[in-house]
Amino acid sequence: MTSPFVPRSKFLYDRVINWFPGHMAKGLRVISERLNSVDLIVEVRDARIPLSSINPNFEATIGRKPRMIVYNKFDLADPTSKAPLLDAFSRYSPHTPVLFTSSNTDAGVRRILNRASQYADKIPMLTVMVVGMPNVGKSSLINSLRRLGVGKGKAAPTGAQPGITRAVVGTIKVLEDPTIYLIDTPGVMVPHIPQPVESLKVAVTGGIRDHLADEQVMVDYLLYRLNQFGNHDYVTQFRVPGGPTNDCNLLLESIARRIGAVVKGGDLDFTMAAKYFLKQYRLGKFGQYTLDDVSPEALERFFSESRDFDKDMSASRRQEKKLAKLQARKEQRERHSKIMTEVV
Ligand SMILES: Nc1nc2c(ncn2[C@@H]2O[C@H](COP(=O)(O)OP(=O)(O)OP(=O)(O)O)[C@@H](O)[C@H]2O)c(=O)[nH]1
């Protein structure tokens, strides 16, 4: 008799993925500089990682402005995650509205417009800045708001890879009466994510360039989580021999055979297989999952451990300052060598 399948109880991972290119440092600077001309901030987060997609640096930069938090991509998250999150926010951050949306359905997007219109009651022309981590769907939301609000087409470029918007974009009108303008901004990563598995979650959900996180490690993490959730659909989908498995190589081999991912010489292409699996996950083909723990106890811990949060924030700020300095030096060197070239 075969013994029942036992999923892994832990995922061992100790690499910290840092990704903070120059355009993000600059983006954060410009966000801060333009704050005075902004009435409301819409901070977009990824509903699949409601805690890991919080960028503590925004607290410092935009903390003094009225803010609305939008958990986007809710179509890909566990629908039952909404109630405990709303409950926690109502206790720890009662003055900040929290909405759950999916930029490709109208209901949630309309709720953002309605909420923003309430602010516009007090201000004749409302300017809203949309901020958030990379790839959470800021530009897609702006396009949907514009389509619903003024019936116009795409104004902000979107894409499946993070880092599509690279600069703060001028105002985009999304409503006529009351008049509401939006400003799109580049996705800004946390310069230093202290918990390795958290950075992996951000990568799995598309917030970090795939090659930096390693596609095969991301698939291994997803396999671990799917097994934990008791979802073994991958077995039939990719014809994994022997049923549910903790062996990522066996899964990748099965995927590669199923999709015909073969390199020159006939070997199976595990990278192509991993990319395929990631794409399927991001399209929601394996179901709706929230990767952060949103149990009431975990949320209580998260919100009340503000001392650790502050500590992480200062580590992150230090890293940000260091990277910004390096970027400034690089820009100075480039300017200098340009001048030298022109002189020569
Ligand atoms: N399933 C789903 N996909 C979404 C949703 N919103 C955006 N997307 C997809 O997510 C990807 C990223 O969307 P963008 O709007 O470019 O994200 P962004 O936050 O502007 O990205 P950056 O340029 O990195 O700042 C695109 O492939 C979108 O089609 C959503 O609500 N649900």
Architecture of the domain defined by 22-184: 3-Layer(aba) Sandwich (3.40)
Mean of pLDDT values over 133-161: 89
Predicted pLDDT at 338: 63
Mean of pLDDT values over 296-305: 92
Q: Coil, helix or strand for 175?
A: strand
Residue 43 φ/ψ, nearest 5 degrees: -95, 115
The Cα–Cα gap between 270 and 44 comes to 33
The Cα–Cα gap between 278 and 270 comes to 12
Is there a contact between 146 and 172 (Cβ–Cβ < 8 Å)?
yes
- Ligand 1 centroid to 307 CA: how many Å? 32
pLDDT tens-digit readout, 8-20: 999 999 988 888 8
pLDDT tens-digit readout, 305-337: 854 444 444 444 555 555 556 666 666 776 666
pLDDT tens-digit readout, 95-135: 899 999 999 899 999 999 999 998 877 777 999 999 999 99
Predicted pLDDT at 296: 95
Check if 53 has its Cβ closer than 6 Å to any atom of ligand 1.
no
- Ligand 1 centroid to 54 CA: how many Å? 16
Predicted pLDDT at 313: 46
pTM (two decimals): 0.87
Predicted pLDDT at 279: 97
Check if 82 has its Cβ closer than 6 Å to any atom of ligand 1.
no
Predicted pLDDT at 160: 80
For the chain, the domains span: 22-184, 196-282
Residue nearest (by alpha carbon) to ligand 1 atom 6:
137
Residue environment code for 236-260, b if the CB has 16+ CB neighbours within 10 A, otherwise e:
eebebeeebbeebeebbbbbbeeee
Max Cα-Cα span within the chain: 81
Check if 27 has its Cβ closer than 6 Å to any atom of ligand 1.
no
Give the position, in ligand 1's atom list, of the atom nearest the Cα of 132. Answer: 19
Secondary structure letter of residue 220 according to DSSP:
H
Residue 236 in this model has a pLDDT that exceeds 90:
yes
Check if 140 has its Cβ closer than 6 Å to any atom of ligand 1.
yes
Give the position, in ligand 1's atom list, of the atom nearest the Cα of 163. Answer: 24
The residues, ordered by sequence, that sit 6+ positions from 36 with a Cβ below 8 Å of its Cβ are none
Residue 264 half-sphere exposure, CB side, CA atoms within 13 Å?
0
Check if 296 has its Cβ closer than 6 Å to any atom of ligand 1.
no
Mean of pLDDT values over 35-58: 94
Mean of pLDDT values over 227-247: 97
Predicted pLDDT at 113: 93
Token pair recorded at residue 304: 């009340």
**CATH node for 196-282:** 1.10.1580.10
**Chain Cα centroid distance, residue 244:** 29
